[in-house]
Structure 1
Amino acid sequence: MNKSITIFHWLPRILCVLAILFISLFALDAFKPGLTIWQQLRGFFMHLIPSYILFAFFAIAWKWELIGGSIFTVIGIAFSPIVFTHNYNMNHSVSMSLGIIMLITFPFVVVGILFIVSHYKKKRADLKK
């Protein structure tokens, strides 16, 4: 593998893990005083359900880059209006809502595009052999 293919092989994988770990940080709000440890753990694991789903999509993308890249791109684009509307209703600020979209959904669009680029770079390299 040449250097370009190696970079495009590992970059989406590393960024995807980082993005999923970032999303997983939001599950920590399940730990609140006044709840038993079992209630807190139940809430924590329930808050991690989106991360479990994203890791399942990550496993698909690892094996089949084109399919996984398409899934991540669609997820990022599809959730952008939902996240924007939710945050705009909470803070009534377009710029803050767009910033939150850039933090939460945009990384998955980038990861999806990078998986797709990686797929086509490897395909082109295989055709040249």
Structure 2
Amino acid sequence: MSRTVRLIRWRPRVFALSVAGFLALFALDAFEGDATAGEKLFAFFLHLAPTWILLLVAALAWRRERLGAVAFALLTLVYAVWAWPRMDWIAVIGGLLACGAVLYAVAWRMRRKA
């Protein structure tokens, strides 16, 4: 397998983990406000739910790029419906998820050709 093919096949995995890390940063917002420490900790773990979902998808798609492409496309649609009035949110987060779907689809095509 050539170096280029290896890079293309690894890119969606690294991208998925990077997006999960980016989404995890938003969970830190839970520590603001006047809530008790227990409430803040609960809110923090609740805010991490999208990150855990994304990590689960990345783990399931690790060797099944087609599953990753479909799952990221579905996550894009679900997020767009959920955040419909906020087009700026959809552009940033939905755009990242759509890029993940494309990267997984390209990696899947490269695997089929190899």
* TM bracket, shorter-chain basis: 0.7 to 0.9
Name the residue aligned to 1:108.
Answer: 97
Cα root mean square deviation, aligned: 1.6
Confirm or deny: 8 A CA contact 1:74 1:109 kept in the other structure.
no
Higher helix share: 1
Aligned length: 114
Name the residue aligned to 1:61.
Answer: 61
Letter in 2 for 1:75: L
Higher-Rg structure is 1
Please report the TM-score for the alignment, with normalisation by the length of structure 1: 0.79
Confirm or deny: 8 A CA contact 1:65 1:116 kept in the other structure.
yes
1:120 aligns with 2:109: yes
Q: 1:38 deviation in Å?
A: 1.7
Q: Where does the alignment leave 5 or more consecutive residues of structure 2 unmatched?
A: none
Please report the TM-score for the alignment, with normalisation by the length of structure 2: 0.88
Q: 1:34 deviation in Å?
A: 2.3
SS in 2 for 1:41: helix
SS in 1 for 2:84: helix
Name the residue aligned to 2:37.
Answer: 37
Moved over 3 A (4+): none
SS in 1 for 2:83: helix
Q: 1:102 deviation in Å?
A: 2.2
Q: 1:25 deviation in Å?
A: 1.5
Q: 1:15 deviation in Å?
A: 1.3
Letter in 2 for 1:57: V
CA distance in 2, matches of 1:75, 1:32: 28
Confirm or deny: 8 A CA contact 1:31 1:40 kept in the other structure.
yes
Give CA-to-partner distance per residue, 1:92-114, whole Å, 9 cap, x none.
xxxxx2x4322111111111121
Give CA-to-partner distance per residue, 1:15-52, whole Å, 9 cap, x none.
11111111111111111242222221111001111111
Q: Where does the alignment leave 5 or more consecutive residues of structure 1 unmatched?
A: 88-96
SS in 1 for 2:35: coil
Name the residue aligned to 1:15.
Answer: 15
